[in-house]
Amino acid sequence: MTAPGQPIFIKVINTLKRRAQRGRGASIEEMCAAADQVLSDHTAGLRTATLNAIAASREAIAAWKVGGDNAILVQNLATMALEAEDQGNVLGNPLLVQVGTRLSTFIALFSKLPPQSAPNRKAIIAIELHLDAMLVAIDKGPHDTIEDSALVLLGDLELTQRTIG
Amino acid sequence: MRPTRTFDFSSFTLLLFVESEFARQLLTDMCRSLHVQAVISKRDHASAWDAFKANPVDIVIGDIDSERGLQFLRDARDIEKSPNALVPFIVTSIKSSVDCVASARDYGATEFLKLPLSAVTLLKRIVYVVEQPRVFVKVNGFFGPDRRRQQRTFKGTDRRQSPSAAADSTASEPISGAPSPKIERVAT
């Protein structure tokens, strides 16, 4: 009997190790190279996907300018901002994460507008600035820290948001 | 020269519970590139739990940045309802603060994989759970891998007191190491 409060240790019999050594398998180096290749492919694919998303957003902005439903634009941009944050976190692009976060905050203001509200020129400029900043972030590729020039860019986005918001 | 180590993960069944579509797809592809044949990837708790119950899952990789991710880890370690409470559970998170790592550990995570993803760290975590299975411990409402990765001999006077030792104040002899625990052996 085990006394109350006394820990019970459970030694797990390792079947994984045995199974991992059963077949011919692949070397650590081969597997690492293969996984690295997958990561590179996804990073390259991200650039194309983001460019497409930005193009779609610009189309939604154009439609909004001529009286389109702003709910569609909000939906489009909110999704893109969220994806940018996600992708930046997974691939190591803190600038993309920051731009995505700022765009999310800015878009939250738009969601409060009535669906057919008149387009605001300043707001459109601000959104386009965020889209341009996203392009800069994508072009930088994976990085560890946000450098000074990028900090200036983020500061400008912050200022634009405060001015318009 | 150290010989190159080889691994065959083809017989493994790996369950991914990651809410972000991008991260889920990337992890799925990376695991397949490691020759894991059965990669089950799920984005919500209910379907991940169903898959966990229906399949002989060897390793779980779960994102704990959301409350649902933590809940899945908690459920997986729940002896009452989990089909495999001893499963190696690698958690992923964008946060690496002490609090975040500590909460993952307290919920029973086996390994912690900090995002951004890299091939080396993912492979290291998988190899680690394969080669170094952790002893599990059940104590005071906690069930999960033993937090101590190394067993070291304690030097000095053991001043910890169990209820019985507290009653017997004559137990003042130096004690090396912890009292002998009950050890069970379980195959997964």
Which of A29, A31, A32 is most worth mutating to test chain B (most B CB atoms within 10 A of its CB)?
Answer: A31
Nearest by CB to residue A90, choosing from B34, B115, B183, is: B115
B33 vs A31: CB contact, 8 Å cut-off?
Answer: yes
- Return the H-helix or E-strand segment holding A98: helix A94-110
Q: Report pLDDT digits (tens) over A114-147.
A: 666 665 777 888 888 899 999 989 888 777 788 8
Residues 101-160 of chain A with CB under 8 A from chain B are 142
Query: Any CB–CB contact under 8 A between A13 and chain B?
Result: yes
Nearest by CB to residue A14, choosing from B23, B127, B133, is: B133
> Is the pLDDT assigned to residue B139 strictly greater than 80?
yes
Nearest residue in A to B32, CA atom: A35
Query: Which residue has better confidence, B168 or A108?
Result: A108
| Residues B168, B162: Cα–Cα separation, whole Å | 10
Q: How many helices (H) and strands (E) does chain B have?
A: 6, 9
CA distance A43 to chain B (A): 10
> Is the pLDDT assigned to residue B43 strictly greater than 70?
yes
Residues of chain B positioned with their CB less than 8 A from the CB of A3:
162, 164
Dihedral sign from CA coordinates of A12, B143, B96, B116 = positive
Nearest by CB to residue B34, choosing from A35, A39, A46, is: A35
Cis omega (within 30 of 0) on the bond before B116?
Answer: yes
Q: How far is CA B73 from CA A120, B16, B49, B77, B121, in A?
A: 46, 12, 10, 6, 21
Nearest by CB to residue A9, choosing from B26, B131, B135, is: B135
A9 vs B123: CB contact, 8 Å cut-off?
Answer: no
Q: How far is CA A16 from CA A26, B21, B87, B130, in A?
A: 16, 28, 11, 5
Q: Report pLDDT digits (tens) over A33-92.
A: 999 999 999 998 888 888 888 888 888 888 888 877 777 788 888 889 999 999 999 999
CB pairs under 8 A between A and B: 174
Ramachandran sector of residue A6 (left: φ over 0; alpha: ψ -120 to 50; beta: rest) = beta
> Looking at this predicted complex, what is its ipTM?
0.84
Q: What per-residue string of b and e applies to B4-31 under the rule 16 or more CB within 10 Å gives b?
A: eebbebbbbbbbbbbbbebbbbbbbbbb
A28 vs B25: CB contact, 8 Å cut-off?
Answer: no
Q: What percent of chain A has pLDDT over 70?
A: 92
CA distance A107 to chain B (A): 20
Residues 30-59 of chain A with CB under 8 A from chain B are 31-39, 41-42, 46
CA distance A37 to chain B (A): 9
CA distance A47 to chain B (A): 13
Nearest residue in B to A24, CA atom: B8
Q: Report pLDDT digits (tens) over B90-134.
A: 999 999 899 999 999 999 999 999 999 999 999 999 999 999 888
- CB-based contacts of A13: which residues, under 8 Å, 6+ apart? B185, B186, B187, B188
Nearest by CB to residue A9, choosing from B10, B25, B146, is: B146
